[in-house]
Structure formats: structure tokens, C-alpha cells
């Protein structure tokens, strides 16, 4: 998992944003307002690691990221144990987004909202619930309700008019709430109907009033740069999926093409699957864990608790006059 030094740095870093005990002067900006502020800076690229639960969100916060992305695929796999095939409902997604956003409301959380989960009325409900959950931005796509991951083959796309009706409902719902939440229009049309149709859909989406556009599964660096050129000055989001349809590039290369937001939905999923699978295999085959006998190696359960707010909870209890946790940090 890592060295003791790494554990210490992770746990101490959580106090940067998650101190609930000590009142302090802080910006009144919400996560959505902060995201808008970042996007107003033309030199800024908003980099969002994909998180899917409280632990991966805490790790990303401890690492100092300016924004987080709640991945729909990760939510489906972690909450349901199923691949991203449209099985997660509004309730699944909203609840996960709300929990992640609540860990540090000053850090913007961008969240997958799939197709909006229905027609205009349902899209309105989705946007309302996400906004009230503290989500800074959500994206709505143009796949059919029986959707699938954007980098899988065989996607089915709704008519342009249906897509735009979803977006109109989303923008209207957001405006009626007087919310700062950003609406992101995602199109998966490139695979089925070609690059020009993807461009046309996103240009129409901008006219509807969306804040950011998300062209999924572009197929070359040339397409990526051209999409940014045609969408300007509207911010364009890049989805980085290793092994997916879109060619990989560095953050600086993406900045040079014109992208303003970059999400890495599989970042934590891949790391968790690989590391946990290895630990389980080690215990199964050797009868012990990989860190046994190595003094200071690995991350202890106390390290994990500290990462997830143990000290802040102790401080809250003490300030209220309680003594319930006075022995928590003692020798055991």
C-alpha cells in the first residue's frame, strides 16, 4: 500500500479542507462558484480524478486536487457490483454524489448524470436533486436510456431533438433554482454518426445555454484540437480513458489543444482493483499479508481513520465538552 511516511503525509493532508472543529475565515464560494471561477481563467485546466466512494474521494482531497469527478462507472461497480450498462438509478447516483460533495463543499464535484433518467420532467428532477446535493456540475448525454460506457461499442443515440429537450429542461431547472451549478452537454454521436454530427449537436447545446461541452470518444488528436477550436470560447471537457477510443495525452498536451476540463474516471478504479486483487491473492496463497513482518510498512487502520476525519471528530467532541474519544490516540 505504501510506506509509513506516505501514510503520515496522507493523514496530515486531510486537515487542509476537512477540519470541522475550528471556525476559520473561509471563502463563501460554493463548489459550483469555485468551478466557474477556475473556468474564467483561460490559463487554467481543471484536472479531476475519478472517485467513486468516500475513501477514494478522501484520498483525492488529501492529494490536493482542485476538483473531483464522480464516475458513473465507478459508482455502478462500487455500489451495485455491476458494469456500467445503465443499471444505476437516479437514487444511486445522487446519493453517492451528495456524500462525496459533503466531504469538502469548497472543492467542486463534477458528476455523471447519465441521460437524466427520463424525459424533461425526470431531467428536471435530476438537476434539482443534484443541485440540492451540492454538486458543482453534472453532465447529461444523448444515449438512449439503456446506455453504456462511452468507450464501448454499439451505443445507440437519440435524435438531436430529444437530446436538446433534455438540455433545455436541465438549464431551465438550474435557472429556476437560482443555482450556480454548471450543466455539461455530452454527446456520444461521434461513434455512430461521425465527427460533424457531434460538432453540430454541441453547437446547438451551447445555444440552449449549457456551460461546458463534452465530446465523448473522439478518435484522433486532430479531432480533439478541431473540436476545441469549433466550440471556443465554451469550455470543452476531455475524458481520458486508457485503452479507450480517444488517444491519450498529457495534461499539457490537452491544454495546448484547448481543453479546459480533464476527467480521469478510471484512475482510482484501476488502482483499487489491481492493489486489492494482489493483496487478496497474497493472503490466499501465503497465509499472510504482504506487509507482515515489515516494521512500518503498509497503511494501518488508524492511518485510514485519520485520513477519513478521525482527528476532526475527536476535536468536535472535545469542544462540546465530551470525553468519549480521549483514549483513541493512546497506546493500544
Catalytic residue ranges: 69, 84, 112, 114, 139, 141, 149, 186, 216, 239
What span, in angstroms and rounded, lies between the C-alpha atoms of 59 and 62?
Answer: 5
Helix residue ranges, H only, the chain: 4-13, 31-39, 54-62, 72-75, 90-103, 120-132, 160-176, 189-193, 195-208, 221-231, 251-257, 267-286, 301-307, 310-319
Which cell numbers hold the place of 91? 437514487
Sign of the dihedral defined by the CA atoms of residues 26, 32, 37, 38, in that order: positive
Q: Determine the 3-state secondary structure of 167 from DSSP.
A: helix
Among 32, 14, 20, 7, smallest CA distance to 97 is for 32
Sign of the dihedral defined by the CA atoms of residues 117, 123, 125, 126, in that order: positive
Helix (H) or strand (E) holding 263, with range, is: strand 261-264
Residue partners of 257: CB distance under 8 A and separation at least 6: 221, 224, 225, 228, 249
Which cell numbers hold the place of 6? 506516505
Amino acid at each position: 500500500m505504501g510506506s509509513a511516511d506516505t501514510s503520515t503525509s496522507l493523514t496530515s493532508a486531510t486537515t487542509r479542507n476537512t477540519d470541522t472543529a475550528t471556525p476559520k475565515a473561509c471563502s463563501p464560494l460554493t463548489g459550483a462558484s469555485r468551478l466557474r471561477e477556475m473556468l474564467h481563467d483561460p490559463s487554467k485546466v481543471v484536472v479531476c480524478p475519478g472517485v467513486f466512494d468516500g475513501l477514494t474521494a478522501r484520498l483525492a482531497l488529501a492529494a490536493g486536487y482542485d476538483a473531483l469527478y464522480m464516475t458513473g462507472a465507478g459508482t455502478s461497480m462500487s455500489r451495485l457490483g455491476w458494469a456500467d450498462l445503465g443499471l444505476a438509478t437516479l437514487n444511486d447516483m445522487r446519493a453517492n454524489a451528495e456524500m462525496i460533495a459533503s466531504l469538502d463543499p469548497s472543492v467542486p464535484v463534477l458528476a455523471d448524470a447519465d441521460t437524466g433518467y427520463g424525459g424533461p420532467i425526470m431531467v428536471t428532477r435530476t438537476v434539482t436533486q443534484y443541485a440540492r446535493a451540492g454538486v458543482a456540475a453534472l453532465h447529461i448525454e444523448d444515449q438512449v436510456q439503456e446506455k453504456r460506457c462511452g468507450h464501448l461499442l454499439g451505443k445507440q443515440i437519440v435524435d438531436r431533438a430529444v437530446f436538446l429537450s433534455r438540455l433545455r429542461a436541465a438549464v431551465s431547472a438550474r435557472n429556476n433554482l437560482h443555482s450556480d451549478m454548471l450543466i455539461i452537454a455530452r454527446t456520444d454521436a461521434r461513434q455512430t454518426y461521425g465527427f460533424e454530427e457531434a460538432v453540430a449537436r454541441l453547437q446547438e447545446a451551447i445555444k440552449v445555454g449549457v456551460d461546458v461541452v463534452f465530446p465523448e470518444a473522439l478518435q484522433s488528436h486532430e479531432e480533439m484540437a478541431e473540436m476545441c477550436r469549433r466550440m471556443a470560447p465554451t469550455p470543452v471537457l476531455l475524458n481520458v480513458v486508457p485503452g479507450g477510443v480517444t488517444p491519450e495525452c498529457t495534461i499539457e498536451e490537452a491544454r495546448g489543444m484547448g481543453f479546459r476540463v480533464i476527467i480521469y474516471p478510471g484512475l482510482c478504479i484501476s488502482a483499487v482493483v489491481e492493489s486489492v486483487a494482489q493483496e487478496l491473492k497474497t493472503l490466499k496463497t501465503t497465509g499472510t499479508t504482504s506487509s507482515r513482518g515489515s516494521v512500518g510498512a503498509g497503511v494501518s487502520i488508524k492511518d485510514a481513520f485519520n485520513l477519513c476525519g478521525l482527528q476532526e471528530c475527536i476535536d468536535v467532541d472535545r469542544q462540546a465538552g465530551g470525553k468519549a474519544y480521549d483514549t483513541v490516540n493512546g497506546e493500544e
